[in-house]
Chain A
Amino acid sequence: MGEYSVQELTSILAMQGFAGISLFSVLLLMALGLAIIFGQMGVINMAHGEFMAMGAYTTYLLSVMTQTYFPEFMNYYFLLAIVASFLVAGLFGYLTEFVLIRHLYKRPLDTLLATWGLSLIMQQSFRSIFGAREVSPTLPDWLMGSWMPTDTIFIPINGMFVLALTAVVTIGVYILMFRSTWGLNVRATTQNRVMSGAVGINTKQVDRLTFALGCGIAGIAGAAFTTIASTGPTSGSLYIVDTFMVVVFGGAASLFGTIASAFTIAQAQSILEFFISGSMAKVFTLLALVIILMMRPEGLFSIKVRK
């Protein structure tokens, strides 16, 4: 590392660190949805990445439509796209739960296979509708460019926007899950389904909405994803393993654990990536996670439950 001066090295660390924060944002948004679905309901949703891609394609579609019909609104469409991505992915998640998932609650390993099947179908649908090539929406001007705190550090604005979006969504999820009656119902259903039903919670409705919410957040992750990379039919599946690792590593039912683990994984990967090749960075990160999980299978932060 002799060829770098101290100042350059600090800049590199800051920029790689920020690149890690963009990755962290997308991973966290993905993982929040998955943590709700997997952590609360115990459903392994292998199609989660495809729900993210669905959000990304919704954003793309809206961008194309705005450009064609209402070019004067180009600056604002992105905010609408975030909401639309949430609704589209959430609605589709609601349907998926109704048609597929609710029959499989007692067979978690089978939900894994069924949702993998669903993910294949969704990938091929994306390919048939949008083509095999990757697409990107036209981003509004205010998302372009970068912010330069010093001469050598460039921080991209879209990264900061995604970070802010992630913060808003995370706080929203926290309030919804831990400070609202609905969240109380969800947590009660997770802990004891029969008892929750007995005290009058409509557990089936809770399941359906929880799954829809998880998918909807994946949709938001998709909208955020379009600002940092282009979307292809298999974009979602690239993130699914990492996302599962975030959730498992963080401790399945812990919101704070999910945040901490998304941050650790994203930072480890992007800082390592600068010093060794990208593939080896991935190998070392995942290997470290596997080893930690073997020593501590319950994850970083876990709620102690007597079973």
Chain B
Amino acid sequence: MNFVYERFLGGKSGALAIGILALLILVILPLALDLFRLNLVGKYLTYAFAAVSLVLLWGYGGILSLGQGIFFGLGGYAMAMFLKLEASDPESTSIQTTPGIPDFMDWNQLYELPWFWVPFESFTFTLIAILVVPAVFAFIIGYSMFKRRVGGVYFAIITQVIAVILTVLIVGQQGYTGGINGITDLRTLNGWDIRTDEAKYLLYFLNAILLLGVIMLGKFILTSKFGQLLLAMKDKEDRVRFSGYDVSNFKIFIFCISAVIAAIGGAMFTLQVGFMSPSFVGIVPSIEMVIFAAVGGRMSLIGVVYGTLLVNYGKTAFSETFPELWLFLMGGLFIAVVMFFPNGLAGIWNKYAPKVPFLRPLLAGSKKAESKTEPAKIESEPTTEGAK
């Protein structure tokens, strides 16, 4: 029990922070918001998976991926393919030239299901694919880059290019992927209608609990020896290498983990929102995920959830009332966070919360744990790190 408390929750302050977050997303928000708004929050929380994955990868690992949208998209598309096949049974698609295949394939003169769609008729396969496909993909990218000691800005640019390739591919191959509109009109999951109010509530809670689980997994990883090594690698990669560790393997591992976390978010996105499209795969969503993490605090697993909620709330609120101002605000936010608050919301909290009198007793005793796991540091690697 003590082990779980220390490692998965992160001691007193960690448990308290997770408790407050759980209270907010499991009790307060569902009670305070109507279903439409709650569904929006659920959508934002799926982005939080990607933000959490970036805390592990970027905040602690020092590896900035501008391609988390790739993995979010892979997870989302895998789920969408399964749901689409279920929605396109021969009966409801009987007006098509070829009944039983998804409608967009029919519009694009495809007469049978492409081979890579076939396994997605199985739910078990789909669940495995959501976890395994992004991991394998991340492994291939990570292996070929980290083994050659490509890192830093080069890694960021190449992941970005891969995100572009995937987007262009999805948009271009309309018959196989649904094109720019994505995979839409999803109805049931194993016969269970995901569009009803009841299903939306259930999926929201499933998503929130999964997110809390992922955060605890993250805590566990970061408090392990591996987490310590990750931080050491970020600060002085060469010293870790000279101490006899194979740095690239650790990097590949954390990249795969972060890919899987983002993919779970993508799959939950598809379930809650009811469609998946390339606009959640490319450069813009990928960089937005980075900004969620930056605003929340790149070193804080819990902070980024608040960061994601805040940025997305701002986006929704502003684009409803002042659509023109939104981009100015978003751009300003990027610049302000980078220049003035490199540790984001969590950094502000850690700095000012101990000064508030009634919070002090709650935070007492957690000082040690905090300074151990969340040093206020920002990466300062030399610019030429990439192509040695």
Nearest CB of chain A from residue B363's CB, rounded to whole Å: 29
Interface residue from B58, B66, B334, B337 paired with A120 (Cβ < 8 Å) = B334
**A127 to B324 Cα, complex, angstroms:** 9
Which residues from chain A contact B154 at a C-beta distance below 8 Å?
Answer: 248, 293, 297
Q: Does B162 interact with chain A (Cβ within 8 Å)?
A: yes
B339 beta carbon closer than 8 Å to chain A: yes
Q: Interface 1/0s, chain B 316-336, versus A by CB < 8 A?
A: 000000001001101111110
For residue A103, CB closer than 8 A to chain B, the reply is yes
Q: Does A80 contact B (CB under 8 A)?
A: no
B68 CB–A CB distance under 8 Å: no
The reply to whether B150 and A297 form a contact with Cβ atoms under 8 Å apart is yes
CB of A112 within 8 A of CB of B172, answer no
Convert A245-276 into 0s and 1s, putting 1 for each residue whose CB lies closer than 8 angstroms to a CB of B.
10010001000000000000000000000000
CB distance from B64 to the nearest CB of A (A): 5
B33: which A residues are within 8 A, CB to CB? none
Q: Is A68 an interface residue (CB 8 A)?
A: no
B2 at the interface (CB under 8 A from A): no
B339 touches A241 (CB 8 A): no
Q: Which residue of A lies closest to B171 (CB)?
A: A279
B126 in contact (CB, < 8 A): no
| Bound CA span A215–B379, Å | 26
- Measured between alpha carbons, how far is A149 from B157 in the docked complex, in Å? 41
How far, in whole Å, are A286 and B161 apart by their CA atoms in the complex?
7
Q: Is A119 interfacial (CB 8 A cutoff)?
A: yes
Interface segment among B88-96, B194-202, B380-388: the answer is B380-388
Contacts of B158 in A (CB 8 A): 248, 290, 293-294
A103 partner residues in chain B, CB cutoff 8 A: 339
Contact B331 A109 (CB under 8 A): no
Q: For chain B, which range describes its interface: under 10, 10 to 19, 20 to 34, or 35 or more residues?
A: 35 or more
Decide if B165 touches A120 in the complex (CB within 8 Å).
Answer: no
On whether the beta carbons of A289 and B379 are closer than 8 Å, the reply is no
Distance in angstroms between the alpha carbons of A110 and B290 in the assembled complex:
11
Query: How distant is B134 from chain A, measured CB to nearest CB, in Å?
Result: 18
Annotate B133-144 by CB proximity to A: 1 below 8 A, 0 otherwise.
Answer: 000000000001
- Which of B172, B324, B327, B328 has most A Cβ within 10 Å? B327
A-side contacts of B169, CB under 8 Å? 279, 283
The verdict on B152 contacting chain A, using a C-beta distance below 8 Å, is yes
Q: Contact at A118–B338, with CB atoms within 8 Å? A: no
For the complex, is A176 an interface residue (Cβ under 8 Å from B)?
no
Interface residue A121 (Cβ < 8 Å from any Cβ of B): yes
Inter-chain contact A307/B384, CB cutoff 8 Å: yes
A299 to B387, CA, bound (A): 9
With beta carbons under 8 angstroms apart, the residue of B338, B379, B380 that contacts A114 is B338
> Residue A164 at the B interface, CB < 8 A?
no
Q: Are A120 and B330 in contact (CB under 8 A)?
A: yes
- Residue B31, interface by CB 8 Å: no
Closest Cβ–Cβ distance, residue A191 to chain B (whole Å): 10
Contacting residues, chain A, for B330 (C-beta < 8 A): 117, 120
**How far, in whole Å, are A283 and B165 apart by their CA atoms in the complex?**
5
CA distance A104 to B66 in the complex (A): 19
B283 part of interface (Cβ distance < 8 Å): yes
| A183 is an interface residue with CB less than 8 A from chain B | no
**Inter-chain contact B334/A114, CB cutoff 8 Å:** yes
Q: A280-B172, A297-B148 are in contact. List 17 more A-B contacts (CB 8 A).
A: A100-B339, A107-B379, A108-B383, A109-B153, A113-B290, A113-B294, A121-B331, A124-B327, A127-B324, A241-B161, A244-B161, A279-B172, A282-B165, A293-B154, A297-B149, A297-B150, A297-B386
> CB within 8 Å of A: which residues of B?
58, 64, 66, 144-145, 148-150, 152-154, 156-158, 160-162, 164-165, 168-169, 171-172, 283, 287, 290-291, 294, 324, 327-328, 330-335, 337-339, 342, 378-381, 383-384, 386-388
Seen from chain A, the residues whose Cβ lies within 8 Å of a Cβ on chain B are 41-42, 44, 100, 103-110, 112-114, 116-121, 123-124, 127-128, 241, 244-245, 248, 252, 277, 279-280, 282-283, 286-287, 289-290, 293-294, 297-299, 302, 305, 307
Q: Which 5 A-B pairs have the closest CB atoms?
A: A117-B334, A42-B383, A279-B172, A120-B331, A121-B331
Instruction: Show 27 residue pairs from A and B whose CB-CB distance is below 8 angstroms, ordered by the A residue.
Output: A44-B153, A107-B378, A109-B152, A109-B379, A110-B338, A112-B66, A113-B294, A114-B335, A117-B330, A117-B332, A117-B333, A117-B334, A118-B335, A121-B328, A124-B327, A124-B328, A241-B160, A241-B164, A283-B165, A283-B168, A286-B164, A294-B144, A294-B148, A294-B158, A297-B150, A299-B387, A305-B384
